[in-house]
Chains A and B, each alone.
Chain A
Amino acid sequence: MGTLSENKKAALLSVMLLIVGFLVWELSIPAQKAVGELTEYELLTGGGQPKAGVPPPSQVLGKAWEQLSNPFYDAGPNDKGIGIQIGYSIYRVLTGYLLAALVALPLGFVIGMSSVAYKALNPFIQVLRPISPLAWMPLALFVIQDSEASAIFVIFICSIWPMLINTAFGVAGVREDWVNVARTHELGAIRTAFTVILPAAAPTIVTGMRISIGIAWLVIVAAEMLVGGTGIGYYVWNEWNNLDLTSVIFSILVIGIVGMLLDSMFGLLQRAVAFSE
């Protein structure tokens, strides 16, 4: 054991924790009683339905296998594969997120460069930022009249703030020495922005983008529960209505894993733009 590297030890421990967790979960769920043994009361309260209790992990794994072996089937509006549902959610998140980036990054640059712009826009940002993105939903549905676009709008509005604020903060904090280097080389405003300010502020900006994508992924589930139709959020809600807890637990895990993947993509980007002084 002493020869194992730290990473291997940690990985081993993770796997052990996972197995122990599953075992405890599996054992803590009492075996389903056969229908014949149920009391009349249990039958009336739905205890007799096979999926009314929290399912054991073996069942969830079975579900995962079943779903992942055919993720893209489409059998009508209420029965689509997990891949299709996740695909819809990712599409909405990325669309709203990219629109937000298109607004937040240039605007953040302006706010970071000009203290007048900062002072003029700051009150609006401070008021709009703390509003829960879901609070916009009724207004969006009313104005846009389209549930798809409303969900995208909600993603837009929730991912814009961290990007905007971090961009402004990063740009304003660029060391004057570096700007002076650009000035002594007679670089124009555009070239200074791209060759000096952008790389200097990039670590802060990407941190903001990473926070934003995390929030967007949190919000999309809730937004889709509200607007319905498609998406992983709707899927969770739908399976809850079907009392299919196995699917609910499975999709919770999928939400976590996709969120982790999105985050680690930005982790890589963050590493690519990082520099040390």
Chain B
Amino acid sequence: MSKPFLSIEQLTQRYPDGQGGEFTVFENATFGIEKGEFVCILGHSGCGKSTIMNILAGLSEPTSGVVKMDGQHVSGPSLDRGVVFQNYSLLPWLSALKNVTFGVAARFPDWDKAKVVEHSTAFLAKVGLTGDTIHRKPSQLSGGMRQRVSIARAFANEPKLLLLDEPFGALDALTRGTIQEELIKVWKDTDQTVFMITHDIDEAILLADRILLMTNGPLAQVAENVEITIPRPRVRNDIVEHPNYYAIRNHLVHFLAKRSAELSGKSSDRNSPATVRFDLTGETATEDPETAPLLRAVQA
């Protein structure tokens, strides 16, 4: 089997625990992401999702393990990997527009100023920011607006890999829906690969090809790899009708509510997360979702 586009091998992160010892955030995380895939990662607060993302972004070095993109070692950040940070990380002395042109000008150094502004304005419009708003400083924007500027900055750079750390956390349901659609559109139109952290199970099911599940920290594991067997295009209100929807959803809820804690701290010998795949499309429609987990096929 050929190497995936992005491969994460035996990633381990330890930090000093502040009392002279050290604690392990996660251990031996190993998984791959194919080119063009949309992968979400779910796990409880503090299990190390942001830490993994910082390593993928090249912003920090893991204690051990390697990340390879296109066969190349990831060492240090790159314009090929765009990041939407959990806390937006906008530059507060620049207007919303300038925050985006800042990135675009770095990405496309030979564009002239007019083109940079045009490109940036277009991406701000895609996330619903137009008019005077884009000339305001981040401190004069709402939390959701800041988040959208941050998303526009990352999208406008058209990186090969988009790393999103809870990009929709501060948005109301309506805006969230619009921007999720926009994200899917941008993702489909380009050959971008997306790795996204979220706390929202429904969002993950709507967007992802696969969902990685992490157990609780410390000593967290990437325990499972759940395939979302719902065909695209997915429409929020329609996917709930799909026979696989509740099976997947219940599995995820069950994992986060119970198994993430039960499995926590147990080191497993397997190298990569167990793949879980539900496909009830051949079954009768009266299938009780509660029994669905029994039907899951676990592959090594």
Contact = CB atoms under 8 A, between A and B. Distances in A.
Interface in A143-180: 177-178, 180
A60 interface: no
Contact of A275 (B59, B79, B139): B139
Given A196-B91, A276-B92, A183 B139 contact: no
B89 interface: yes
B51 to A, nearest CB: 14
Interface stretch (A39-47, A69-77, A122-130, A184-192): A184-192
Contact of B89 (A177, A186, A273): A177
A183 B78 CA distance: 8
A181 B57 contact: no
Contacts of A181: 85, 89, 91
A177 B85 contact: yes
A184 B57 contact: yes
Nearest to A187: B106
Secondary structure of the B side of the interface?
Answer: loop
B82 interface: yes
Nearest to B79: A186
A196 B106 CA distance: 13
A122 to B, nearest CB: 25
Contacts of A275: 92-93, 137, 139
A200 interface: yes
A276 B139 CA distance: 6
Contacts of A115: none
Contacts of B102: 185, 195
Interface string A42-73: 00000000000000000000000000000000
Contacts, number: 56
B243 interface: no
A178 B138 CA distance: 13
Contact of A180 (B85, B93, B139): B85
A196 B78 CA distance: 17
Contacts of B89: 177-178, 180-181
A194 to B, nearest CB: 12
Interface string A265-277: 0000000010111
A177 B90 CA distance: 9
Contacts of B139: 275-277
Nearest to A202: B93
Contacts of B85: 177, 180-181
Interface residues of B, number: 25
B87 A184 contact: no
A200 B102 CA distance: 15
A184 B81 contact: yes
A210 to B, nearest CB: 18
B41 to A, nearest CB: 19
A202 B93 CA distance: 10
A186 B106 contact: yes
B77 interface: yes
B259 interface: no
A196 B93 CA distance: 9
Interface in B119-167: 137-139, 157
B107 interface: yes
A183 B83 CA distance: 11
B103 interface: yes
B106 A200 contact: no
Contacts of B59: 180, 183-184
Residue among B77, B83, B93 with the highest chain A CB neighbour number at 10 A: B93
Contacts of B107: 185
Interface string A191-215: 0000110011010000000000000
Contacts of B103: 185
Given A275-B137, A275-B139, A184 B82 contact: yes
Residue among A180, A185, A202 with the highest chain B CB neighbour number at 10 A: A185
Contacts of A196: 91
Interface string B171-215: 000000000000000000000000000000000000000000000
B159 to A, nearest CB: 9
Contacts of B92: 275-277
A74 to B, nearest CB: 47
Contacts of A180: 59, 77, 83, 85, 89
A275 B98 CA distance: 14
Nearest to A185: B106
B77 A183 contact: yes
A275 B139 CA distance: 8
Contacts of B137: 275-276
Contacts of B82: 184
Given A180-B77, A184-B78, 13 more contacts: A183-B58, A183-B76, A184-B58, A184-B79, A184-B82, A185-B102, A186-B77, A187-B106, A199-B91, A200-B91, A200-B93, A275-B92, A276-B92
Please list the 3 inter-chain residue pairs (A to B) with the smallest Cβ-Cβ separation, ordered nearest first.
Answer: A185-B106, A275-B93, A177-B89
17 contacts: A178-B91, A180-B77, A180-B83, A181-B85, A181-B91, A184-B59, A184-B77, A185-B79, A185-B107, A199-B93, A200-B91, A202-B93, A275-B93, A275-B137, A275-B139, A276-B92, A277-B138
Interface of B: 57-59, 76-79, 81-83, 85, 87, 89, 91-94, 102-103, 106-107, 137-139, 157
